[in-house]
């Protein structure tokens, strides 16, 4: 039987999506970050209890009423690992699925896909060596988000004697970090993030060039 | 019943992978291009008759003995569309699967995946708006490779009254074009392309930075 799932979506409240600064104003980045968060929450909704992990100050009304907000002053890994340790101390009432908040193309089938994979931990790679989702079924796992986190997470599982598997997905692998990633949202997005970029005046170029342009 | 499949892999013989020039010498690019081609041919092998499409001068010994080489002086779209038209004139003896030669992470399950999709044409997107594989089941389809080819191919199918579907895959979506893509090969590659980069001295950085570095 499927165990209950606790879904944790870390959200960077301040200066989110700073690598998009060459293409978007701070306000544009903030709008896109919230739009992507809500698209991600739509995709994971229905699979388990939802928690957004954020520094203090996140306005719950901007996230949606069915979502718990867990505030933490800690950095990403410390906040996540403190949460994991807390769940372990409670007897591990549910498995934990960590989902990055900038997966603007994520669909329910990606979430069902990672949940169907075997292993004590299931890693979903992002382009460039990141880890876009992690399903944790064993309380001994800890996150190591920094730089090339995917091989770090694989190595952590190996050294901890945990069975790790990999879930690969075009959509789940597409995190939106850099200006050139914005074209992915316009091309393949189906939700608020795409509408937000369109409302900010971004379109795909007609000339056959890659990337996206502002009208 | 599954119809026979003719698999066409276009290969750029001269100045291949020019966008990797900041990271690789011309000889390194040539070695990587051939290694990726052979990885792709391994992945598609067994699914149908294999043809590499190239400008004249490709050394068959570098490609493998079970592969036909079709030489053409035409540019990519004209060469492919001339081939499609030729098959149409023969009564369409087999469906056509076009596979880009730089899909260093491609596996047999990606090939099986696209073949299992419905539609007159099945498009497999690459990161950045490209089209990394196309399965053509209707002789009226034509390729339009240039810039953002994925929406062009969707639009071509729509205007031609053809049913198009989309096959999405992390591995099939990862074409190796830019220096930062080389990290994907080191992280997720399983074949000759990974070995080639390693033999050229590339490793993943230990510092947690993204990308890959040369020792």
Asked if the model's pLDDT at residue A209 lies above 90, the reply is no
The whole-number average pLDDT for the span B46-68 is 90
User: Using a CB-CB distance cutoff of 8 angstroms, which residues of chain B are in contact with residue A178?
Assistant: none
Are B208 and A148 within 8 A, CB to CB? yes
Nearest CA in chain B to A170: B170
User: Using a CB-CB distance cutoff of 8 angstroms, which residues of chain A are in contact with residue B171?
Assistant: 168
pLDDT band at B163 (very low <50, low <70, confident <90, very high): very high
pLDDT band at A91 (very low <50, low <70, confident <90, very high): very high
Determine the pLDDT at residue A212.
61
Residues A181 and B127: their CA atoms lie apart, in Å, by 8
Contacts of B1 (CB under 8 A, 6+ apart): none
Are B184 and A127 within 8 A, CB to CB? yes
Q: Cβ–Cβ contacts within 10 Å for residue B73, how many?
A: 8
Q: B82 vs A141, A197, B113, B124, CA distance in Å?
A: 55, 39, 27, 21
- A5-11/A49-54 β-pairing: parallel
Residues A104 and A188: their CA atoms lie apart, in Å, by 9
State whether ipTM is beyond 0.85. yes
User: Residue A146 burial (CB < 10 Å; 0-12/13-18/19+)?
Assistant: middle
Nearest CA in chain B to A173: B170
Residue B8 parent element (H or E): strand B5-11
Are B188 and A128 within 8 A, CB to CB? no
Contacts of B145 (CB under 8 A, 6+ apart): B76, B77, B80, B131
pLDDT, tens digit, 9 for 90 and up, residues B31-44: 999 999 999 999 99
pLDDT band at B210 (very low <50, low <70, confident <90, very high): low
The whole-number average pLDDT for the span A113-133 is 97
User: Residue B65 burial (CB < 10 Å; 0-12/13-18/19+)?
Assistant: exposed
Least confident of B32-36, B58-62, B124-128, B199-203: B58-62
Nearest CA in chain B to A181: B128
Beta bridge partners of B54: B11, B71
Asked if the model's pLDDT at residue A208 lies above 60, the reply is no
pLDDT, tens digit, 9 for 90 and up, residues B76-130: 999 999 999 999 999 999 999 999 999 999 999 999 999 999 999 999 999 999 9
- Which of helix, strand or coil describes residue B32? helix
Comparing CA positions, the residue from A79, A58, A78 lying closest to residue A68 is A58
Asked if the model's pLDDT at residue B209 lies above 70, the reply is no
pLDDT, tens digit, 9 for 90 and up, residues A27-81: 999 999 999 999 999 999 999 999 999 999 998 888 877 789 999 999 999 999 9
Residues B21 and A177: their CA atoms lie apart, in Å, by 24
Min distance A143 CA to chain B CA atoms (Å): 14
- Which of helix, strand or coil describes residue B215? coil
For tokens 């038209």, the residue is B85
For chain A, give the mean pLDDT: 94
Residues B91 and B82: their CA atoms lie apart, in Å, by 15
Calculate what percentage of chain A has a pLDDT beyond 70. 95
Asked if the model's pLDDT at residue B68 lies above 60, the reply is yes
Asked if the model's pLDDT at residue A189 lies above 70, the reply is yes
User: Using a CB-CB distance cutoff of 8 angstroms, which residues of chain B are in contact with residue A211?
Assistant: 128
Are B210 and A180 within 8 A, CB to CB? no
CB A33 within 8 A of CB A101: yes
Are A187 and B127 within 8 A, CB to CB? no
Residue B134 main-chain phi, psi, to 5 deg: -135, 125
Comparing CA positions, the residue from B166, B179, B180 lying closest to residue A177 is B180
Determine the pLDDT at residue A1.
61
Q: First vs last Cα of chain A: how many Å apart? A: 51
Q: Give residue ranges of B with CB < 8 Å to any A CB.
A: 125, 127-130, 146-148, 150-152, 168-174, 180, 183-184, 187-188, 204-205, 207-211
Q: Cβ–Cβ contacts within 10 Å for residue B62, how many?
A: 10
Q: Which domains does chain A have, with CATH numbers?
A: 5-176 (3.90.550.10)
Determine the pLDDT at residue B156.
97
- B121-125/B131-136 β-pairing: antiparallel
How far does Cα A43 stand from its chain's mean position?
Answer: 11
Q: Which residue has the higher pLDDT, A36 or B212?
A: A36
Option in A125, A129, A187 nearest B170 (CB): A125
Residues B38 and B72: their CA atoms lie apart, in Å, by 20
Contacts of A134 (CB under 8 A, 6+ apart): A96, A97, A98, A121, A122, A123, A124, A141, A143, A153
The whole-number average pLDDT for the span A87-104 is 97
Which of A125, A129, A210 to mutate against chain B (most B CBs within 10 Å)?
A129
CB A49 within 8 A of CB A7: yes
Nearest CA in chain B to A186: B129
Are B187 and A151 within 8 A, CB to CB? yes
Are B147 and A188 within 8 A, CB to CB? no
Residue A213 parent element (H or E): strand A213-214
Residues B56 and B50: their CA atoms lie apart, in Å, by 17
pLDDT, tens digit, 9 for 90 and up, residues A135-183: 999 999 999 999 899 999 999 999 999 999 999 999 999 999 999 999 9
């Amino acid at each position: 039987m499927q165990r209950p799932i606790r879904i944790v979506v870390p959200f960077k409240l301040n200066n989110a999506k700073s690598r998009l600064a060459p293409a978007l104003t701070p306000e544009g980045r903030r709008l896109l970050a919230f739009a992507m968060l809500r698209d991600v929450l739509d995709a994971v909704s229905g699979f388990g209890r939802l928690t957004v992990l954020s520094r203090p100050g996140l306005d719950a009304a901007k996230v949606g009423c069915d979502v718990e907000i867990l505030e933490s002053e800690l950095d990403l890994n410390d906040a996540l690992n403190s949460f994991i340790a807390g769940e372990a101390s409670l007897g591990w009432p549910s498995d934990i699925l960590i989902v990055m908040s900038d997966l603007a193309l994520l669909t329910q089938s990606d979430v069902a896909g990672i949940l169907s994979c075997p292993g004590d931990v299931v890693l979903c790679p992002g382009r460039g060596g990141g880890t876009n989702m992690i399903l944790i079924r064993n309380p001994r796992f800890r996150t190591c988000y920094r730089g090339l986190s995917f091989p770090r997470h694989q190595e952590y599982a190996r050294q901890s004697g945990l069975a790790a598997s990999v879930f690969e997905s075009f959509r789940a692998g597409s995190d939106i970090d850099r200006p050139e990633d914005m074209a992915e949202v316009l091309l393949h997005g189906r939700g608020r993030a795409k509408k937000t970029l369109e409302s900010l005046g971004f379109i795909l170029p007609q000339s056959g060039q890659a990337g996206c342009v502002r009208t």
